[in-house]
Amino acid sequence: MSASVSPSASRVGVWLIGARGSVATTVVAGCAAVTAGLHPPTGLVTETPMFADSGLPALSSLVFGGHDTVDCPLPKRAEALAAGGVLPPGLPTATRTELAAADTEIRPGGPLPGDTRDAEELIAAFASDIQDFIRRYGLTRAVVVNVASTEPAPTGAAPTEPAPTGASLPPSSLYAAAALRAGCPYVNFTPSTGLNHPALAPLLTSTDLPFAGRDGKTGQTLLRSVLGPMFSQRALAVRAWSGTNLLGGGDGAALADPAAAAAKNAGKERVLTDTLGTPPEGEVHIDDVPALGDWKTAWDHIAFDGFLGTRMILQTIWQGCDSSLAAPLVLDLARLTARAHEAGLSGPLGELGFFFKDPVGDGPSALGEQYAALGRFAERLRGADAGRLEDDQGRLGGRGGADRSEEQW
């Protein structure tokens, strides 16, 4: 993971947006720990037998870099996470070399207050950073993954044309456009706008790169994607489904903004609508509790009717560490998207809906069906040629084949 890596080695880059955050730090430290045999690959779906011989890049081949607007070094960030119980004691020391190497590859993000660059200048600068990273390491490819804090949900009608300043596009869309400009697949692990901005539509319709997202499914919505189908399949009538999230850390602070919370909750509610057939009564509330740090509690209260109208209740409590839940999924997605790129896939990777609250492309919302689709994707990756893969992806709603147009951005 250091700059002295031989260019002739087969290496794959993982460029993290929000590269000094808790999730990104856990990704880098966790990858190093698993690679060194310090910890088993618990939580990594791509390390299960399903993906044996599917051609995924090895964890040891991943090289990390990214963008961020903060300057706390990764080793120091890892020490803070260990003090909070997120990382095991001693892991920051054991992986200090890898953390420091990744930290040297983090470039300033933006736009920051007072930045006068317009959207094109920002996108060009971000893309140049990514291309320089790929060039210096002699990488075969790189995947850009957004793990930054959630942005506020767009309000009103979004502009359809590029506007004169960088502030006219949300940062997530600037980074997403830069990823495609740099020739890299893109994964949006957050509910932020990313590639979904109308001004990026021409870029999406012309790209020959794969992309995936949005919003990683790690806790409450993971349960909902299992329980929703259960009620539907057993013909039980759900009358109301309410939920509460208590969380701290950067996510808690970001989601204290009602507009950011609305962006987060949209995916949670969509899973219920899709799996139950109609939206039930009830809302999700998100409370910022700074004392919880990176830990979160999610509580659901489900009111449903059984045979002869008998009224019943199901309550669930999910307590977990957000970064530890998210980090293995980020590594899974980076490996799967890199492999899809190698295989010549383009457009939305609907088969990766298993990992997201609000997946791009067409696909089911129930976790069991999503897992089956992921298994079929693994089987196609295993020994399938690029032409067959493209045919399969087209059937599932993928698009591609056209040359990218950098003139759009």
The predicted-structure confidence for 141-182, as pLDDT tens digits, reads as follows 999 999 999 888 765 434 444 443 444 899 999 999 999 999
Beta bridge partners of 361: none
Specify the pLDDT at position 150: 87
What's the pTM value of the predicted model, to 2 decimals? 0.87
> In which band, very low, low, confident or very high, does the pLDDT at 6 lie, cut at 50, 70 and 90?
very low
Each residue's pLDDT tens digit, 307-326: 999 999 999 999 999 899 99
Specify the pLDDT at position 154: 67
Residue 193 lies in a domain: yes
Each residue's pLDDT tens digit, 22-63: 999 999 999 999 999 999 999 999 999 999 999 999 999 999
User: Of 258, 286, 321, which residue constitutes the final position of a domain?
Assistant: 321
Residue 401 lies in a domain: no
- Least confident stretch, 86-95, 176-185, 280-289, 324-333: 280-289
Q: Measuring CA to CA, which residue among 26, 268, 18 is closest to residue 150?
A: 18
Per-residue tokens: 131? 């291309």
Q: Between the CA of residue 97 and those of 8, 33, 57, what are the distances in Å?
A: 22, 11, 21
Q: Do residue 162 and residue 69 come from a single domain? A: yes
Task: Please indicate whether residue 5 or residue 174 has the higher confidence score (pLDDT).
Answer: 174
Each residue's pLDDT tens digit, 105-141: 999 999 988 899 999 999 999 999 999 999 999 999 9
CA–CA dist 192, 272 (Å, integer) = 20
Q: What is the DSSP letter of 354?
A: G
Each residue's pLDDT tens digit, 321-358: 989 999 999 999 999 999 999 999 999 999 999 999 99
| Rg of the chain in Å (alpha carbons) | 21
Residue 200 lies in a domain: yes
For residue 193, pLDDT beyond 70: yes
Residue 224 lies in a domain: yes
Q: Which domain holds residue 284?
A: 220-321
Domain total in the chain:
2
User: Of 321, 355, 377, which residue constitutes the final position of a domain?
Assistant: 321
For residue 4, pLDDT beyond 60: no
For residue 260, pLDDT beyond 90: no
Q: Do residue 157 and residue 201 come from a single domain? A: yes
Each residue's pLDDT tens digit, 199-211: 999 988 889 999 9
Residue 332 lies in a domain: yes
> In which band, very low, low, confident or very high, does the pLDDT at 268 lie, cut at 50, 70 and 90?
confident
Specify the pLDDT at position 204: 87
Q: Say whether 144 sits in a helix, a strand or coil.
A: strand
For residue 404, pLDDT beyond 70: no
User: Of 321, 342, 371, which residue constitutes the final position of a domain?
Assistant: 321
Q: Do residue 299 and residue 376 come from a single domain? A: no
Q: DSSP letter string over 188-237?
A: E-SSS-GGGSGGGHHHHHH--SEEEESSB--SHHHHHHHHHHHHHHTT-E
The residue-averaged pLDDT of 56-80 equals: 97
Q: Do residue 210 and residue 293 come from a single domain? A: no
Task: Give residue for tokens 């949300």.
Answer: 170
Q: Do residue 191 and residue 328 come from a single domain? A: yes
Specify the pLDDT at position 271: 87
**What are the residue ranges of helices labelled H in 213-363?**
220-233, 249-255, 258-276, 322-342
Contact 187, 213 (CB under 8 A): yes
Residue 119 lies in a domain: yes
Q: What is the DSSP letter of 104?
A: T
CA–CA dist 395, 104 (Å, integer) = 42
CATH of the domain at 298: 3.30.360.10
Q: Do residue 207 and residue 247 come from a single domain? A: no
> In which band, very low, low, confident or very high, does the pLDDT at 270 lie, cut at 50, 70 and 90?
confident
Q: Do residue 211 and residue 357 come from a single domain? A: yes
Each residue's pLDDT tens digit, 227-253: 999 999 999 999 999 999 898 877 766
Specify the pLDDT at position 267: 64
For residue 395, pLDDT beyond 50: no
Q: Do residue 279 and residue 377 come from a single domain? A: no
For residue 398, pLDDT beyond 50: no
Contact 213, 188 (CB under 8 A): yes
Q: What is the DSSP letter of 263?
A: H
> How many degrees, rounded to 5, is the angle at CA 71 between CA 70 and CA 73?
125
> In which band, very low, low, confident or very high, does the pLDDT at 259 lie, cut at 50, 70 and 90?
low
